[in-house]
Structure 1
Amino acid sequence: MSEEDAAHDVLPEAMAAVLGEYERHLAVERDLTAHTVRAYVTDVGGLLDHTARLGGSTVGDLDLRTMRSWLAKQQTMGRSRTTIARRATAARVFTAWLARTERIPTDVGASLGSPKAHQSLPPVLRADEAAELIRSATEHADDGSPTGLRDVAMLELLYATGIRVGELAGLDVDDVDRERNVIRVFGKGRKERTVPFGRPAARALDLWVRHGRTLLAVEGSGAALFLGTRGRRIDQRAVRTMVHRRIADVPGAPDIGPHGLRHTAATHLLEGGADLRSVQELLGHASLATTQLYTHVTTDRLRRAYQQAHPRA
């Protein structure tokens, strides 16, 4: 149990009550995932615990100095810049909600700064490595096993669309439109978007649905597109395990998971000439700045190619 989780049990009653109301707001009104709600509540609970240790008993005792000292404490505890930046964001979102719902007179966290997180991307596959990944997985599926067909379909879809692993696991059969070759995806905050896929992914999906899914489906399968070996909706961890296992079959390829395939798809789209706005929409990024990270990858690769090839580099 983390320090923050342990602290939640001893919050002053008034603070604990507001934290409970905030948790309901995130889950019901904002319709965030359970994982996201838990992360927000944990971070805010840590802030409230820090406030209580400084003598506060209600959310009205929150002020900018207290919030800054809380972040400073995170730094002395060795928390990463990324973690501190995330917790600062959680604090600002919380105080904005407090002010909006008139639990405090002004938004005391509006001017709270945070360190810029180091923005780095995991390794990506080259185009030939991505092709080899699919080819190798297809060879393993030649035995006609339903899991083999499923794995090829998931790999094709992850690489073709760049969707998140949670979005893949959450797909239903009806989310696939085979007439237009697009899928309906519910991303972060349950925001819906439509993502196209190509003919290879379409063929793999057809094989899975027609010849694989029917063999794994059970009474409790429901509408889930991808099923685990017991016939239930596939678990994200199972998808990650499968991707790492298949990547290991590709000589020299970096060990990446589903998120690495997402980065690979984005990088290859940009290298192929897609514009940033289109890639942003495909990936479901709320901010174009997030998508712009991929330009660093493609620029670095272009620079290396230039240095290797140009006589006056």
Structure 2
Amino acid sequence: MTESALGAAIREFLTYLREVRQLSPHTLTNYQRDLNALLLFCDAAGLYEPDAVQESHIRQWVTGMHRKGLAGSSIQRSLSACRSLYNHLGRQAGQPRNPAAAVQAPRKPRKLPKTLDADQLDHFLSKSDDSPLGLRDLAIAELFYSSGLRLAELSSLNIHDIDRNGRLVTVTGKGSKTRTVPVGQAALTAIDNWLAQRPALAPDSDCADALFTSSRGGRLSERSIQARLRLLGRKAGMRQDVHPHMLRHSFASHMLESSGDLRAVQELLGHANIATTQIYTHLDFQHLAKVYDAAHPRARRRKPKPE
């Protein structure tokens, strides 16, 4: 079957994202899946040219995804991929009109990220053992909570990324952006204890300087890190699974609760947009509401007077 002009445009756009933008394989996979879904819809509707797609067609596409039960976040991601495609065509091929520009995904209820309070974290971080794997897992958990790192950022760390004298760690985040954030003494001590037990041999050069490795010396994968945190949480008797983002959320919430400095928390987390960081203000307000309810005389529910 002959490739349509829209199909060729999508293929060229994906090549641009891979070779020029150098997006991660995970992000590229999402773009490819979403744009392939758009292409299937357009082929079924007889829309083979990029300029044949109208806003009404994009609305039909969105309606179809919604009827299939796709989450609002998934629909929004698909729309974002479509907008990016047409923005690219506008720059490259003089395609001035973006049919997805004014189309919005169905709104979804905003869920607050799950966090652990300080007592829960102390309990969680005190239940590791002194085996090499126990020391490694504790160092991973301490570093997540100490510096608010993303899973991919921690997994890709090398030994030289830790500056013990400055008590800093340098990470590469989303969009290949590098940032340097503080590391607490508890995390540095846990890392030193792990490095004293870390396997010296590595199966390949990529693993030789990896900060966190498996028992065989290979770089510890993201999936393994997630599994080890869940195991550590179960050993500690936690009521819910502990995962990397929960520790990152806890870091952000506790930092904002103590400092009130939203801009500083934004920098520490590596958020490009402060609106992303503002979700933690809702967590802070929850804490304030609890304090208010517990302390304010007029907030307490009065017992009914006996008749």
TM-score w.r.t. the length of structure 2 is 0.91
2:199–2:217: 8 Å Cα contact kept in structure 1? no
1:124–1:254: 8 Å Cα contact kept in structure 2? no
2:151–2:244: 8 Å Cα contact kept in structure 1? yes
Matches within 5 A, 1:133-152: 133-137=124-128, 140=129, 142=130, 145-152=131-138
Percent identical among aligned pairs is 36
CA 1:309–1:251: 2 relative to 1, 3 Å: farther
CA distance in 2, matches of 1:281, 1:11: 49
Choose which of 45, 48, 63 in structure 1 pairs with 2:36.
45
**Which residue is 1:287 aligned to?**
273
1:175–1:184: 8 Å Cα contact kept in structure 2? yes
Matches within 5 A, 1:182-193: 182-193=168-179
1:161–1:197: 8 Å Cα contact kept in structure 2? yes
Deviation, 1:147, is 1.8
CA distance in 1, matches of 2:17, 2:208: 27
CA distance in 2, matches of 1:11, 1:227: 48
1:129–1:250: 8 Å Cα contact kept in structure 2? no
CA distance in 2, matches of 1:19, 1:102: 13
Residue 8 of structure 2 is aligned to residue 22 of structure 1: no
Matches within 5 A, 1:138-287: 140=129, 142=130, 145-209=131-195, 211-215=196-200, 217-220=202-205, 221-287=207-273
TM-score w.r.t. the length of structure 1 is 0.89
CA 1:134–1:21: 2 relative to 1, 3 Å: same
CA 1:170–1:276: 2 relative to 1, 3 Å: same
Residue 63 of structure 2 is aligned to residue 72 of structure 1: yes
Residue 95 of structure 2 is aligned to residue 98 of structure 1: no
CA distance in 1, matches of 2:132, 2:238: 28
**Deviating more after overlay: 93-102 vs 158-167:** 93-102
1:177–1:183: 8 Å Cα contact kept in structure 2? yes
Counterpart secondary structure, 1:306: helix
Deviation, 1:215, is 4.4
CA 1:270–1:116: 2 relative to 1, 3 Å: same
CA 1:268–1:52: 2 relative to 1, 3 Å: same
Aligned length: 298
CA distance in 1, matches of 2:222, 2:2: 34
1:11–1:52: 8 Å Cα contact kept in structure 2? no
**Which residue is 1:125 aligned to?**
116
CA 1:134–1:40: 2 relative to 1, 3 Å: same
**Which residue is 2:303 aligned to?**
none
Residues 214-236 of structure 1: CA deviation (Å, up to 9, x unaligned): 34644542322111222111110
Deviation, 1:268, is 0.8
Deviation, 1:103, is 5.7
CA distance in 2, matches of 1:156, 1:274: 23
Deviation, 1:240, is 0.5
CA 1:257–1:246: 2 relative to 1, 3 Å: same
**Which residue is 1:7 aligned to?**
none
**Deviating more after overlay: 96-105 vs 269-278:** 96-105
Deviation, 1:97, is 1.3
Choose which of 51, 59, 64 in structure 2 pairs with 1:60.
51
CA 1:50–1:198: 2 relative to 1, 3 Å: same
Residues 97-146 of structure 1: CA deviation (Å, up to 9, x unaligned): 12111262433332222233332133211101111111112xx1x2xx32
Residue 24 of structure 2 is aligned to residue 33 of structure 1: yes
CA distance in 2, matches of 1:216, 1:200: 27
**Deviating more after overlay: 244-253 vs 118-127:** 244-253
2:145–2:248: 8 Å Cα contact kept in structure 1? yes
2:199–2:213: 8 Å Cα contact kept in structure 1? no
Residues 259-307 of structure 1: CA deviation (Å, up to 9, x unaligned): 1111111111111114111111111112111111011112112212321
Extract unaligned runs of 5+ from structure 2: 300-307
Residues 166-217 of structure 1: CA deviation (Å, up to 9, x unaligned): 11101122221222111111111111111111111111112222x1223464
Moved over 4 A (4+): none
Extract unaligned runs of 5+ from structure 1: 1-9
Counterpart secondary structure, 1:136: coil
CA 1:193–1:218: 2 relative to 1, 3 Å: same
2:124–2:233: 8 Å Cα contact kept in structure 1? yes
Deviation, 1:243, is 0.9
